[in-house]
């Protein structure tokens, strides 16, 4: 659980910076930040399951 | 204006010296560059994320890199992570002067969050490089 929380925190902090500096309008920035956050989380979870099956 | 014309127009305009100063300030104190440009929400969000990332990393027992290589390791291998750590500017320099976060302590390395801490410290620096470039671009008039 702790690992997941740390990963979420990491994704949130990185996506805040990416979201704040990307795109033009506030709405686009929000959407971009959420998208980056979702990508971090999904890729992190997929990679962790892939690594789980590798001895 | 198409992209190539915009690039040509930008190439003709010299970068104002204030942009370099703001870039340096943004590197030295995370968030200060945007603060000087009066972009308060961005200063708070981007600078805050860097500060938070740095202190979470330290709190997790993370280790920062300098050129004093540990026994048996190459000094050259310390350079890339040191560059990433250096991105936090004054936070790195103050920690280095105080000797906090640089010790090669086996007890610290044994902590479950040690590697997470290292990653947070590296990412804090890299995110601040992005913040610095953003502040520089705004100050140079290349972005709003």
Q: What is the dihedral of CA B27, B31, B36, B40, to 10 degrees?
A: 160
Identify the DSSP state of B139. H
Cβ-defined contact of A21 to B144 (cutoff 8 Å): no
Domain that holds residue B102: 16-139
Neighboring chain B residues of A21 at a CB cutoff of 8 Å: 42, 46, 130-131, 134
What distance lies between CA B52 and its chain's CA centroid? 12
A6 touches chain B (CB under 8 A): yes
- Would residue B20 count as lying in a domain? yes
pLDDT band at residue B92 under the 50/70/90 scheme? very high
Residue B53: is its pLDDT beyond 70?
A: yes
Number of domains in chain B: 1
Which residues, including other chains, have CB under 8 Å from residue B102's CB and lie 6 or more apart? B63, B64, B66, B68, B95, B96
Which residues, including other chains, have CB under 8 Å from residue A38's CB and lie 6 or more apart? none
> Which of B128, B130, B132 is the mutation pick for testing A, counting most A CBs within 10 A?
B130
User: Using CA atoms, how far apart are residues B81 and B89, in angstroms rounded to an integer?
Assistant: 14
Q: What is the pLDDT of residues B59-91, one digit of tens each?
A: 998 989 888 766 666 778 888 999 999 999 999
User: Using CA atoms, how far apart are residues B1 and B5, in angstroms rounded to an integer?
Assistant: 6
Which residues, including other chains, have CB under 8 Å from residue B112's CB and lie 6 or more apart? A2
- Would residue B8 count as lying in a domain? no
ipTM of the prediction: 0.85
Q: What is the pTM (predicted TM-score) of this model?
A: 0.87
């Amino acid at each position: 659980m702790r690992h997941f929380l740390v990963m979420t925190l990491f994704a949130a902090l990185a996506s805040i910076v990416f979201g704040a500096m990307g795109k033009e309008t506030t709405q686009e920035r929000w959407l971009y930040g959420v998208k980056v956050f979702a990508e971090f989380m999904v890729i992190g979870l997929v990679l962790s399951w892939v690594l789980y099956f590798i001895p | 204006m198409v992209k190539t014309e915009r690039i040509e127009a930008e190439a003709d305009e010299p970068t104002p010296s204030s942009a370099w100063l703001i870039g340096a300030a943004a590197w030295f104190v995370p968030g200060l560059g945007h603060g000087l440009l009066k972009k308060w929400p961005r200063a708070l969000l981007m600078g805050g994320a860097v500060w938070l990332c740095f202190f979470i990393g330290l709190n997790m027992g993370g280790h920062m890199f300098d050129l004093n290589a540990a026994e048996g390791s190459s000094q050259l291998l310390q350079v890339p992570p040191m560059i990433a750590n250096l991105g936090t500017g004054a936070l790195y320099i103050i920690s280095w002067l105080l000797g906090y976060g640089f010790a090669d302590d086996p007890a610290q390395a044994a902590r479950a969050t040690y590697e997470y801490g290292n990653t947070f410290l590296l990412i804090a620096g890299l995110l601040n490089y992005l913040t610095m470039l953003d502040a520089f671009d705004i100050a140079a008039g290349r972005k709003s």
